Structure 1
């Protein structure tokens, strides 16, 4: 499935990131630590969107998870070659080609730079094939899965979202499956949405709350 325009466009959010950069296993990472005492035996692995670890929006979101009690590590799985934030937030970046970038960063290579987590949550996923990938996940995976989905999502449209429910819902996926749906929201809403839009604001805040609830339910 192809990327859509919403994969690399959005609104820059206000705030000052509070995390720090370090190298873990040879990979650059943005690390956001909870204030005060916290469970140091668990790490929340934050896989950013196409803008990578340098995106201020993703850094602020990682900080929010940290303030909720989870030591959060955002991985630079694009190895210093993300889609430029300037392109996403201003539409200007001379000489950048999305097709050429994706050719340099194929999905298999990107995911090979990370390891599987014990609990998986995703917002408006891209390159998720329905039903093939969903059936493979049901057959091979062991991690509970939460999908935060929306109304306008070319890479993972409502019809594909329903297929996910048919394959994984109703107890068909024993480790656990949940899906949220946010009307009035567009692909990218959970990270780069326009918070002046009430529907988008409700979607972003709701997806974050649902993710925290899912983590508290399964990430124990």
Structure 2
């Protein structure tokens, strides 16, 4: 069940991944930024990584950024929340990973906890606050003569912003992973090559809505490269918060990462 904020308890489920990030932290446009560089250090294909609500410093985000860097991309993961991300502890404590298998009482309790946390947070991190930070960061990237094309990849909360950036054309390509609070208008506004990755069990994007997005894009954006990949049995957050000890969830997570790399190799070249 989605709360009045547009977010749900499903947003706060998932697993922290294990591993040692290999990037560095820098200060850019007055933001803390995790930077992961490709082996050759080239910025020819640059990725702006827009995190989910848990922020820039989860091991999941950093390890995935490293994966992109290993594939040849120069990756920036800015702290657009300025330290005000949702606590990582809530990954495990607020709600179960199977939101559909809950009693009515559990749903009520989960939504009450979610509202208490997300209502104030969504207000603090509203678009009028965070979007100017993104604009300034992209402007900084564009002033670097070594930076080539720029792609935006976003997850959940950040997934919608990847669509927004593709809509205004401030990036050269975008990948939106299980976007939260994205509307058909956000999808149809895209002006740059855009890929959307979503699961069949994503409570934010029901299968019927995904089908509507596909049909609308095919009709109104036929001349623009776009792709919607649907991953069987994947839940909201699977591309960054999936349980990689589960073979199917690991498969979906890796497949979405490979799809992202393929898309950016094609459209950031």
Counterpart Cα distance in 2 of 1:143 and 1:9: 31
TM-score, normalised with respect to structure 2: 0.73
- Number of residue pairs the alignment of both structures matches: 212
Distance 2:175 2:126 in 1: 21
What displacement does 1:7 show? 1.4
Q: 1:106 to 1:147 in 2, by over 3 A?
A: same
Residue correspondence of structure 1 range 187-202 to structure 2 within 5 A: 187-202=236-251
- The answer to whether the 8 Å contact 1:121/1:147 transfers is yes
Distance 2:242 2:121 in 1: 23
**Number of the residue aligned with 2:117:** 97
Does the CA-based 8 Å contact 2:7-2:118 persist in structure 1? no
- Partner in structure 2 of residue 4 of structure 1: 8
- Partner Cα separation in structure 1 for residue 126 and residue 206 of structure 2: 22
CA-based RMSD of the aligned residues comes to 2.0
The answer to whether the 8 Å contact 1:183/1:199 transfers is no
Q: Mark the CA change 1:174 to 1:28 in structure 2 (over 3 Å): closer, same or farther.
A: farther
What is residue 152 of structure 1 aligned with on the other side? 201
Check the 8 A contact 2:14/2:91 in 1, yes or no: yes
Is this contact kept in 2: 1:12–1:192, CA < 8 A? yes
Contact 1:169 1:178 in 2 (8 A): no
Greater share of residues in helix: 2
Where do 5+ consecutive residues of structure 2 fail to align? 96-112, 136-169
For 1:207, the equivalent position in structure 2 comes to: 256
**Aligned match of 1:21 in 22, 25, 30?**
25
1:51 to 2:54 alignment: yes
Per the alignment, residue 165 of structure 1 pairs with 214
Structure 1 residue aligned with 2:110: none
Stretches of 4+ moved more than 6 A in 1? none
User: Does residue 1:74 correspond to 2:77, yes or no?
Assistant: yes
Question: What secondary structure sits across from 1:85 in the alignment?
Answer: coil
Instruction: Tell me if structure 1 keeps the 8 A contact 2:12–2:94.
Output: no
Structure 2 matches for 1:96-135, cutoff 5 A? 97-115=117-135, 116-130=170-184, 132-135=185-188
Between the aligned partners of 2:192 and 2:42, the Cα distance in structure 1 is 20
TM-superposed deviation, 1:88: 1.4
